[in-house]
Structure 1
Amino acid sequence: MVRLLIIADDFTGALDTGVQFATRGATTRVVTNADYDFKQADAEVLVMVAESRHLPPAEAYSMVYRAARNAREAGIPYVYKKTDSALRGNIGSELAAVMDAAEMTAMPFLPAFPKMKRVTRNGVHYVDGVPVAESVFGKDPFEPVTASALTEIIGSQTEKPVVCHRLDSPVAPELPGIQVYDAETDGDLARIGSALGPGGLHISAGCAGFATALADILGLRGPTPRMPLLPRALFVACGSVNPVTLRQMQTAEEAGFVHIHLNPVQKLEPSWLESRDCESKIKSWLEQAAGCRRCILDVNDPEGRNDTAEYAAEHGLTTEDLRVRISTQLAHLMKRLLDSGLDATILCTGGDTLLALMRTVGVTELTPVRELATGAVLTNFVYQGKTYHIISKSGGFGEPALFCGLAALVGAGNQRRIYYADQIQFENAPRCFQR
């Protein structure tokens, strides 16, 4: 029986939260069907991808309300509303939806993710030491964060009271409204969660940061999952435009990765998929992936070029058109590569890209295995009877050498793998992989 439902607003967030429970041995499934029948689930933890980040607030409210209400009617005792760690999307309307569906007047919200340098101090959210609206997320081309104070962010979408608790304040689960808790370390999150206890966490909210504490508090544990044998090649499908990911690709290219930039026609025109040129490119990319074993298929323009923006202006495409078309086109190209025999561990950056790929190959359920680095989640899915291994990563997560470390992990790099019981270590590994 499902003990915990996690409702995530995007795909990579669903995985990096769900894996906190899977790593501890709790049976965990990630589903993309918003009308999933909870009674058929064979998992303790079910993660639902609501994909509500880009919806209008009222639509996001309705989707989350329906999921939370169905969970209540199915007898699921705990619901966790997973939010973006940079507070993009419909934060206020989605928290209100869970409260209304549960018919509860109070809900704890712990948005901090200390491991990723995202903390909440005096009711203000910080990323890498600066208020979130002044960070790279304030310049997000699709969902820019325009405020840094939680009261302002939440209050723009709901009339429910917002109460901010500083670190030196007592935990007060009985106060009405959305209870925002400051936190700057994992210890802060664990302490607040313990003070709330299982009885104060029937509904709660936060990102992957608090999920770790929640798993311990609710006692969701089991045998540690084993690391599967991965294909010794890394193929990156990059649908993210975040500067963090751009830096990771630059570092990877300098380390010898093949870096393929899709031109505007290749990433925006569905008709190109049926062309002889596409057929030729698929063959060429497969050969490059097999030869180098470290390959990036990238939707970003080469540095210093604005080809996509110019193409969009010439053809009257909006920012939303670009977001949808690019993720869909990249998904179809990845399907063509898989159908043509791509033998690699796949690294997918960006929630839109991952969801589009799963929809294109007709996969509605995934199994998170373990976290390879903070925010980089290894997941299995079955397509046409074959199990594939995919690593998901949010665009704004990770150190510059992350792609290089993942390549080393799967055996596509120059570093020698050293096995230690249930974990993998590397000689001369990037810092994000040193244990």
Structure 2
Amino acid sequence: MVFLLIIADDFTGALDTGVQFAAHGIRTRVVVEPDVDFNAHEAKVLVVDTETRHLPASQAYGVVAKLTGRAQSAGVSYIYKKTDSALRGNIGAELSALLRASGCRYLPFLPAFPQTGRITRGGVHYVDGVPVTESPFGIDPFDPVKHSVVTDLIAQQCDLPVRSFPALAAGDRVPQDEGIMVFDASDDADLYSTGCQLLDHGGLHIMAGCAGFGAVLPELLGIAAETHRTLPKLDPRLLVVCGSVNPITLAQLDRAENAGFTRLRLTPDQKLEPGYWQSKEGREELTRIGEMLAANPHCIIDTNDPGGNRPTADYAARLGIDRETLRVRIAGSLGHLVGEIFPSPSLGTLLLTGGDTLLQCMSCVGVRELEPLCELENGVVLASFTHNGCTRHVITKSGGFGQESLLTDLAARIARH
């Protein structure tokens, strides 16, 4: 019986929250299936990736409202709306959908993820010490964050009452406001103490936040461990497949290339021409990629152009495609590429960065469910899946997570283990 349902809007976010439970030995599954059959899952924690981040707000509302209603009918004890830790996506629409569909009076929202430098203070959301709109997420080419004041961001898509509150400590009066309540948090202690007060004074049947608040929920909700997790032995060969344009990831790629990783940048036609990998030219390129993997232990396949993405933008303009189509085609091309090279014995350990990239790559391989195992770094998740009867592993991360040396550090760690 599913005890806790986590509703995420993208695949990497689903994993970085689900792993908070898996790391405690709690059986957790991540699925890409909004119409999931709750009775078919034995996992105590079920994470559903609704793929609603880039949908129109009204459609995202409908998907979350329907899933919430079905969870209520199935008797799920707790529902957690996982949001992006940098506040991207249809946050206002999805929070209001959860609140209205649940029939509850209020929805507590704790958006901070202190372990990755993302905190909420005075109702303002900060990333590494600056308001989120002044961070790289404020200039995201596909989903720029336009408000640092969390209540303003929610109100843009929501007509419910929304108010901001400081973190709660033992003995503090717990607000009883109707609507969405946004709580500050500067560290994990703030998240836990606020959660305790809320749980003791009205319960947490519904709640919202990112992986930060998710990390305190196993203890807060008293979910017992079921298994003991150990890090599996991974192939020391590492292939990084990058579909992210986040400057944090770009710095990681540059650092890895300078340290000896072999880097292949896909050309605009490889990324944007439908059916490229099935063409004669594409098949020849796949052969060269296979040779690259066989000859080099650490490789990168990157969708970013050298010196910026102007060549790809110009190519897209000549094709007459808009920014959303650009995003979908690039992710789809990466998915087909990974699907083609997946059977190669030279593939090694696969690291995928970016939610769109992960979704398309797994879809082209034929995988719709992952089991998170552990975090290798904050926000960097090791997961397993079954393919053709064999257990395989994949490392995933959002584009905005990790220190500059992340890829080289991971390669060294995998080799040592």
User: Shared fold by TM > 0.5?
Assistant: yes
Q: Distance in 2 between matches of 1:363 and 1:342?
A: 20
What residue number does 1:226 align with?
A: 230
2:286 maps to 1:282: yes
Residue 192 (structure 2) aligned to one of 179, 182, 190: 190
Q: Secondary structure at the match of 1:72?
A: helix
Residue segments in structure 2 that go unaligned for 5+ positions in a row: none
Once the 2 structures are TM-superposed, how far is the Cα of residue 340 of structure 1 from its aligned partner?
3.6
Q: Distance in 1 between matches of 2:391 and 2:304?
A: 29
Which position in structure 2 is the counterpart of 1:172? 174
- Is the Cα–Cα contact under 8 Å of residues 83 and 111 in structure 2 kept in the other structure? yes
Between 174-183 and 192-201, report the one with greater CA deviation: 192-201
Q: 1:305 to 1:59 in 2, by over 3 A?
A: closer
Alignment pair present for 1:405 and 2:409: yes
- Map 1:36-435 → 2, pairs under 5 A: 36-167=36-167, 170=172, 172-197=174-199, 200-222=203-225, 223-303=227-307, 306-411=310-415, 416-417=416-417
Report how far residue 275 of structure 1 moved. Answer: 2.2
Letter in 2 for 1:274: Q
Question: What secondary structure, in the 3-state scheme, does the structure 2 residue paired with 1:236 have?
Answer: strand
Q: Secondary structure at the match of 2:216?
A: helix
Other structure's SS at 2:5 match: strand
Aligned residues of 2:342 and 2:365 also touching (Cα < 8 A): no
Q: What displacement does 1:260 show? A: 0.3
Match of residue 422 from structure 1: none
Say which SS state the counterpart of residue 397 (structure 1) adopts.
coil
Report the AA paired with residue 215 of structure 1. P
Q: How far apart are the structure 1 equivalents of 2:23 and 2:391?
A: 19
The CA RMSD over aligned residues, in Å, is 1.4
Distance 1:271 1:117 in 2: 41
**Cα 1:317–1:21 shift into 2, 3 Å:** same
Cα pair 1:106 1:173 within 8 Å, conserved: no
3-state DSSP class of the match of 2:342?
helix
C-alpha displacement of 1:306? 2.3
The aligned length equals 413
Deviations 1:13-60 (A, max 9, x none): 000000000000100000101101001101000000011110111100
Q: Which digits, 9 at most, give the CA deviation of each residue in 1:325-353, with x for residues without a partner?
A: 00001000000001344431110000011
Q: 1:171·1:192 contact (CA, 8 Å) conserved in 2? A: no
Deviates more, 1:129-138 or 1:81-90: 129-138
Match of 2:93, SS state, is helix
Q: Distance in 2 between matches of 1:407 and 1:74?
A: 43
Instruction: Check conservation: 1:24, 1:220, Cα contact below 8 A.
Output: no
Letter in 2 for 1:182: D
Q: Which amino acid in the other structure matches residue 37 of structure 1? A: D
TM-score normalised by structure 1 residue count: 0.92
* Mapped partners of 1:354, 1:393: distance in 2: 9
**8 Å CA contact 1:345, 1:410 repeated in 2:** no
* Distance apart, 1:78 and its partner CA: 0.1
Residue 34 of structure 2 corresponds to 34
Deviation at 1:173, TM superposition (A): 4.9
Aligned-residue offset at 1:175 = 2.1
**How far 1:393 moved relative to its partner?**
0.4
What is the aligned-residue identity percentage? 51
